[in-house]
Copies of this chain bind each other. A is one copy, B any other.
């Protein structure tokens, strides 16, 4: 059976930084599932017409087509129930809350820290699209949004509950990484891939967790090409 993930790429086709695609890549690795990726760019809507969708990730699993990262994680739990990532019942419901925590509380401070790094990392043909959609979302020019000092301060504050959790266990989901680790890791991998400077201090428990996540599942994330490999 063929399994294919449509994955956002940047100015170099090997540069893969979408937080939503990283969630899915980690969930696929968690399940021990092999897959190919197809590099995709923001402007290439036509390539996703078959999925009736205009964003990645899109997963083709045999004849199944699944869109949206969280729905893909949910699909993987249903189709491959061993080693659940989101889980069922209240475990699922609490993972859903964590998804909103990442997207509504963590992501804005990450974006503020690397807005212009992201712009530089994406393909030149995609930059107009990126600028237009993101400036509409923030109601400000990317040059105004980009404020690494403020972004890092906000990030430090917003990660306070994550830091507390990591005092008790090596991963957010316990002794081994699982669904909520992947949700946060996706977003932090996004900035790790495009930024020259780390956004957390080396002695921060969050940095130590991030290192463990890079090593997880045979180091699939550690092997990823970053902007630092291209410069």
Contacts and interface: CB of A to CB of B under 8 A. Distances in A.
A173 B100 contact: no
Interface string A95-126: 11110110111000000000000000000000
Contacts of A161: 97, 100-101, 103-105
A103 B161 CA distance: 8
A10 B162 CA distance: 33
Contacts of A93: 169, 172-174
Contacts of A79: none
A202 interface: no
Copies in the assembly, this chain: 2
A158 B109 CA distance: 13
A179 B104 contact: no
A93 B161 CA distance: 13
A90 B180 CA distance: 9
Contacts of A101: 101, 161
A160 interface: yes
Contact of A97 (B87, B90, B172): B172
Contact of A174 (B90, B95, B173): B90
Contact of A160 (B84, B104, B160): B104
A98 B95 CA distance: 10
Contacts of A95: 90, 94
28 contacts: A87-B89, A87-B90, A87-B91, A89-B91, A89-B174, A90-B95, A90-B173, A90-B174, A90-B179, A91-B91, A91-B94, A93-B172, A93-B173, A93-B174, A94-B95, A94-B180, A96-B168, A97-B98, A97-B162, A97-B165, A97-B172, A97-B180, A100-B160, A100-B162, A101-B101, A103-B161, A104-B161, A105-B160
Interface of A: 84, 87, 89-91, 93-98, 100-101, 103-105, 158, 160-162, 164-165, 168-169, 172-174, 178-180
Given A97-B162, A100-B162, 17 more contacts: A87-B89, A89-B174, A90-B91, A90-B95, A90-B174, A91-B91, A93-B172, A93-B174, A94-B98, A94-B173, A96-B168, A97-B98, A97-B180, A100-B161, A103-B161, A105-B158, A105-B161
